Amino acid sequence: MILIALTILPPFLILYYIIKSDRFPEPMNMIRRTFLLGVFLCIPAGIINTMLIGDTNMSYLAGLTEESLKFTALYFFLRNKIDFNEPMDAIVYGTLISLGFATLENFNYVYSAEYFGMQASTLALIRAFTAIPLHAGCGVIMGFYFGLYVFRGGEKYIIYSLIIPIIVHGFYNYIAGINFLILIFYVIALGIFVYNLHGIYRLEQLKKINEHESRKI
């Protein structure tokens, strides 16, 4: 029971923060569907990664596979939904896809911990502070630039929405195989960057609310 909690609690805590920080909340049915879409994407990603990477040391290629699949879901399945109607929505749905993906991936890793020569609880704790924030961060970055593309225009933003998460994720995987201490600093720096990106859209929402309230007076 404790192991299950260690596996699913980290992604759900981040999700709770992202969902609650949205001042114009998304419908619960869309939240569930988008999260489950991310869970489903983990299956083809695992198959592709096995064929592409196998037992080689090119784990950084997983960033290409996984972020491309997440981007495809965001672009083709969500952008035309009626509830996708403001920039913050892109961050919410992007993070939902990423953390749905990360939840199933976490189960796969934690319950295969012996393969990595580690105890399951130890691996779950490590991933709670590394891989889970990584996936969430990539979801926020993807959503931030996707929101700019959809609601502000500019072809460069759709490119940023795909390429930056691929690079961030690939570099994370590369560092993970070299030095754990550097990996921790990398995740902290990513967290600060992502928090500020998210904050830009939070401030925009607050400005909308203030403008709406001022019209009432």
187 and 180 Cβ atoms separated by less than 8 Å: no
- Rounded distance between C-alpha atoms, residue 60 and residue 44, angstroms: 17
E strands, the chain, in order: none
Q: What are the structure tokens assigned to 120, written together? A: 């399951």
DSSP state of 22: -
Q: What are the structure tokens assigned to 91, written together? A: 């961050």
- Rounded distance between C-alpha atoms, residue 28 and residue 129, angstroms: 27
Look-up: residue for tokens 């195989």?
Answer: 177
pLDDT in tens, 49-72: 999 887 777 888 999 999 999 999
- Per DSSP, the residues of 33-44 read HHHHHHHHHHHH
Residue 212 reports pLDDT greater than 60: no
Model pTM?
0.93
What share of the chain in percent tops pLDDT 70? 96
E strands, 2-150, in order: none
pLDDT in tens, 77-107: 888 787 888 899 999 999 999 999 999 999 9
- Rounded distance between C-alpha atoms, residue 40 and residue 44, angstroms: 8
Specify burial of residue 105 (Cβ count, 10 A radius: 0-12, 13-18, 19+).
buried
132 and 10 Cβ atoms separated by less than 8 Å: yes
In 3D space, the residue among 106, 85, 72, 70 whose CA is nearest the CA of residue 30 turns out to be 85
- pLDDT at residue 54 in the model: 78
103 and 34 Cβ atoms separated by less than 8 Å: no
Q: Which residue has the higher pLDDT, 35 or 117?
A: 35
Q: Which of 4-18, 36-50, 106-120, 201-215 has the lowest mean pLDDT?
A: 201-215
- pLDDT at residue 36 in the model: 97
DSSP state of 56: S
- pLDDT at residue 77 in the model: 86
Residue 186 reports pLDDT greater than 70: yes
